[in-house]
Amino acid sequence: MVSLAGLPLSAQVELAPVKPGTSKFARLTPKANTMRFRHLVSAFLLCTLFVGCHSVTRTRERLEDTRAIEQVVESFARALREKNKPLYMGLFFSEKADEIGWQYVSEDRRLAHIRQTKPDAIKARRIPGNHFISLIDEAVATKASRDEKFSNVSVDTDGEIASVSFDYEFHADGKKTNWGREMWQLVRTETGWKIFSVVYTIRDELSTGGD
């Protein structure tokens, strides 16, 4: 038999006599069980606190990333409206036209109308002259206003890559010429969020039966 007499309370974790097969936790003295429980509770609380702090930090970072991406969208619209090519070009991952995705897709009714005179027309055709630089160059070259208005903006990001989608309306000289849905892919670089690719649908007066 093991005697606990004379040992400090903090050391009373010796095994008490038990029957063979008894759980090792049942072999601890009541004092040792209490201390073990307190340690487990403390460890659980510390773990919960750490996870909670990490979650709050990540949520704050996500909000900051979302706001930064929304700022890219706002800067895009402002650059086009103000005919500010340096601001516009700085929003993209590359300044080379062939390194940035830029693709439209025609809405079906619009396409059907076009095929009446151009039977070989397709929904999504790669046009070499249609790229992100040509948009700002055309805006800068004309004295007429150019404006793209965005609504229903939605951002999805993990903090390193992102997609943003929205409804758009393009206005030329104050007139709405085409509209649809637009989606961008972005990457976070050392100098901030940059647009990597753009896809968009085209709806215009042909989509509504106009001539």
One digit per residue, the tens of pLDDT, for the chain of length 211 reads: 444 555 554 444 444 455 555 555 455 566 666 777 777 767 777 766 666 655 666 677 889 999 999 999 999 999 999 999 999 999 999 999 999 999 999 999 999 999 999 999 999 999 999 999 999 999 999 999 999 999 999 999 999 999 999 999 999 999 999 999 999 999 999 999 999 999 999 999 999 875 4
- Segment holding 22, helix H or strand E: none
Q: What is the largest CA-CA distance in the chain?
A: 105
pTM exceeds 0.75, yes or no: no
**Is 107 buried (19+), middle (13-18) or exposed (0-12) by CB count in 10 A?**
buried
Q: Write down the H helix ranges in 115-204.
A: 132-141
How many beta carbons lie within 10 A of that of residue 177, not counting itself? 13
